[in-house]
Structure 1
């Protein structure tokens, strides 16, 4: 039995199944195997989390029909052995006096094209390629875009809990004072509320007031929030190792007719994007559905980013809801639907929910009101 605060733990069998699927998917895509460096792909496949910036080579080698092998520095091997996924793979450790690239090369045939996790250091990849000149490499995002896209029941449970926790933080932030305070102060409150709701990691707390709200990736600055400001709130992080990400737009005091109209257009566009979610629909069709509404009201040039991104062990991952992405939706995929309108020098509006694809449609993982919130 699980709860939002105590999810069912992943087992070695879970990780073994993920690694097997990855190797088989690579084989079906014509790849000789998959090489996974520290980062979200390694966490998803093995449960082993370590700093992606470590300079010593750590690399998971997956090949169809062969046991998975994790090449790891000897001084980090004990932590790797304790990782949940470690029983599902073989560890091959190396010392600082040895050559980890020769060790890794020995696990490969010296020929073929391999999928490589996107955040693999060039230092490591070039050294491996020097030892194996007959090999070539492709990024996993390009070669296996669905590697982490479809979530199982236990992953969906964690994402649902993360979404509910972010919603709880939003409800709390509406009770604090905005006017007369700096954006950074409200952002600090928001981060604290995310932590209180069970997030182990806060990744971002966007508080864009007035003209700052027209900059989609403005986070929080020293601007003092004033009465009459529109305020974009976009925040998220990790709970139980899985991401949350939601956006709402509030107003300090009563909005003008134009501000309310722009907010209503974004809300209608976001609703259209969510309604379009169902199995078999192409990712780009979610973008088209939301964008058509905004364009129809004359704000098309002011919607300047994609409609959504995938989410899982990171808050941004494939697939992406953008024109040209023809990948069809399948049950278990999770992604954001977050259209926005940005009027430079004036204000912006964005509304975002995480949605998961079900057998016959979509389900939102964020349930707070999408109406414009009035704050003090």
Structure 2
């Protein structure tokens, strides 16, 4: 199957893929699996290990060309030239005196960026984070500390977007099942086992704190639409044929937040907004969210959503420099920084509308398109 055919089958304007397992040297064969007519592609590669990690965001050029794009979360990657310069939000703080970045060693921030775990695209009405979270689940493993650092930096970047008055969307494989209902080993377990599941992993606790129902800014869009639906999983162990038995977990998410959800004091329900004649929260614009459980070709199932905005997404005059076509040819103009868009753009107009397992290795894009 060609990339163009796969993108058309998915029938979306923006498509986020995790664990591409591609490296920069694979760009020699881009025509086969990275470039598609009518699409812009934005990749982040793992720089120190081949066939590992990697994310890609594909945007339909006619409807969803980003205003700006950035690779990584901490601002440590990107060639040192004008065309390829990082276009980012990286130093966007809620407080000018914020010393958040001083908590981390330079090498730790470089590791967060160099594993190919995030691409950020600014679509005007929202800023999109396409993320692939570390899969480690053993809290005694040295990599677990790295996992927590990754999510701390992600949280800081999300909060920076919200403090700038912009909605945010997080899409991807976070490698965390936050609640018992999200994991086959816990959904029917005794209460004391479920209680242990909720307390024995700092990454799960972090995720729940980020969700709106526990005081955070993020709305789990699938759970908002399907609050009590059980056995709705997105990943299965293919080696044990677990998908046939639906023995899996839900670790792939679409999350949304708007500035009014940043703190409890400013958070208001959609009903209250409607009563007061105020604009509707951004997450209410998602009219449908589902897991495409019948889609095969990976050990993960896609999660999709319909977003109905009051007007078409704004598009820049030219594709962002991070676009893979520019990176391959060396062509293309210098792109403005995401910070300038964040600081200058008004909030999106809103319309009123009626124990987790590590995810096993996934097939690479190269394997799928053979």
Q: Structure 2 length normalisation: TM-score?
A: 0.23
- If each structure's strand is expressed as a fraction of its own residues, which one has the higher value? 1
Q: Structure 1 length normalisation: TM-score?
A: 0.22
Higher RCO (C-alpha under 8 Å, 6+ residues apart): 2
Greater Cα radius of gyration, structure 1 or 2: 1
